[in-house]
Amino acid sequence: MTLFDALSPLSSTLELVLIALSALTSAISASAGIGGGTLLIIVMAQVMPAVALIPVHGMVQFGSNLGRAALTWRHIDRQLIAAFLPGVVLGALAAAWLLIRLPSGVLELCIALFVLYSCWGPSLPKRRLGQGTTLLAGAVTTLLSSLIGASGPLVAAFVKHSQTTPFARVATFAACMSLQHLTKAFIFASPDSCFATGWG
């Protein structure tokens, strides 16, 4: 338990609970295709501040999605990823610029509103997008991911509909989410980011 205590201000017991929950929510996402990330961020929001919540949640989800993408790499739609990746880069750059300019409390409000929408809002339309609109979707969802944490329902709205088999849906979705969550390691680790202020 000494290692846990050194790595985080949370208690060792709480850290073990969160590790177990991350495994459970990863299994939910793998089997149902979506929902695990939102459930995880709801629980994590109860024990850590927003400036820590989004990057920590992002790294947990990066590991979860990267594992699924690695196991199902043969089924990944590489054309969709090629169009999605430039948008991810643009969205991450926009997020890095925006986050240091957000007034206090906006990040918490964005997370809360998204969780409420995920639970009770109408489903987003599912449609196949062209390369240009896929790039735009990558940019917009990556920007939103840095504000709300769990952007899975947004990405799934077009990724899942464009794939014809369950394996292709899971694999392509996992690859897209891996790219998005990886950007948070750079956005929130920046010395000028709001995450640099720490847990307080």
Question: Helix 152-162 to helix 131-148 angle, to the nearest 10 degrees?
Answer: 160
Q: What is the pTM of this model?
A: 0.77
| Mean pLDDT, 10 residues at a time, the chain of 200 residues | 61 81 80 72 80 82 89 92 94 85 72 71 64 86 81 77 83 92 81 47
- Alpha carbons 90 and 145: distance in angstroms, whole number: 13
Residue 128: CB atoms within 10 A of its CB come to 12
* Three-class DSSP category at 46: coil
Please, what is the Cα angle at 78 between 76 and 82, to 5 degrees? 135
Structure tokens at 145: 């991911």
Length of the chain equals: 200
Nearest to 142 by CA among 171, 195, 200, 99: 99
pLDDT computed for residue 200 by the predictor: 42
Among the listed residues 149, 58, 137, 139, the one whose alpha carbon sits nearest the alpha carbon of residue 110? 149
Q: Looking at residue 165, what is its pLDDT? A: 86
What is the reported pLDDT for 79? 92
